[in-house]
């Protein structure tokens, strides 16, 4: 019984340590998610400086999370890490697109492949938001460029036909992306038609005044 008691004591210490590390990584992933969302919000508002600051903080948090990969893989590969990394990917990719820089790879970012795919899937929604912002500025050229980018990302993601266990949530994100692209195209076409009609009316009214 003495041997058993020592074994159980050892197990208790190990599990207690795991629980402490689990709580630590949960806190870090929540913070990473929050900073990534802050970056996205700031970038959409045109506050580039604040967006970069939030991204820098997110990068520091990601590095701390990555330190768990070797020592505590069973905690690191939990769902919360992938979800938080996906939010981070979304923010980094949006920043690169709005800044006109080359998009980073999953290796550049130091994230898991599944997180990269999920982040790209969600990025399409953020690009729709950017396209609508361009519409409000009557910048149709840029809006169509963003739609083209949305379609290219969608096309690449739709090539994946792996099991859900390997690419969790990706199939659903691709389905949602298709609907978002169609809605964005429709919004731009309607807006363009409205502008043309408005200009035609202005022209006719101007001509009538001249008579």
pLDDT tens sequence across 155-178: 999 999 999 988 989 999 999 999
Pick 1-110's CATH classification: 2.60.120.620, 3.40.50.10540, 3.40.140.10, 1.20.58.2140: 1.20.58.2140
Q: How far apart are CA 211 and CA 205, in angstroms?
A: 10
Query: What predicted TM-score, i.e. pTM, was given to this entire model?
Result: 0.88
- Would you say the CATH fold of 112-211 matches that of 1-110? yes
112-211 — its CATH code? 1.20.58.2140
Q: How much is the pLDDT for 208?
A: 53
Q: How much is the pLDDT for 2?
A: 74
DSSP 163-205: -TTTSTTHHHHHHHHHHHHHHHHHHHHHHHHHHHHHHHHHHHH
Q: How far apart are CA 55 and CA 73, in angstroms?
A: 25
C-alpha distance across the termini of the chain, in Å: 109
**Low-confidence residues of the chain: pLDDT under 70:** 203, 207-211
Q: How far apart are CA 199 and CA 194, in angstroms?
A: 9
Domain residue extents for the chain: 1-110, 112-211
């Amino acid at each position: 019984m003495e041997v058993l008691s020592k074994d159980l004591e050892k197990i208790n210490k190990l599990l207690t340590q795991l629980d402490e590390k689990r709580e630590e990584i949960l806190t870090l992933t929540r913070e990473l998610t929050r900073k990534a969302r802050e970056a996205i919000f700031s970038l959409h508002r045109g506050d580039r400086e604040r967006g970069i600051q939030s991204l820098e903080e997110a990068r520091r948090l990601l590095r701390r999370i990555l330190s768990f990969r070797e020592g505590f893989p069973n905690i690191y590969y939990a769902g919360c890490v992938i979800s938080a990394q996906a939010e981070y990917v979304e923010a980094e990719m949006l920043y690169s697109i709005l800044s006109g820089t080359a998009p980073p790879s999953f290796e550049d970012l130091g994230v898991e492949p599944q997180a990269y795919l999920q982040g790209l899937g969600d990025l399409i929604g953020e690009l729709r938001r950017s396209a609508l912002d361009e519409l409000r500025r009557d910048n149709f050229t840029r809006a169509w460029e963003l739609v083209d980018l949305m379609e290219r990302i969608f096309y690449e993601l739709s090539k994946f036909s792996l099991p859900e266990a390997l690419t969790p949530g990706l199939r659903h994100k691709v389905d949602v992306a298709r609907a978002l692209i169609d809605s964005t195209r429709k919004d731009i076409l309607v807006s363009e038609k409205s502008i043309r009609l408005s200009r035609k009316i202005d022209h006719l009214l101007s001509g009538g005044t001249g008579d």
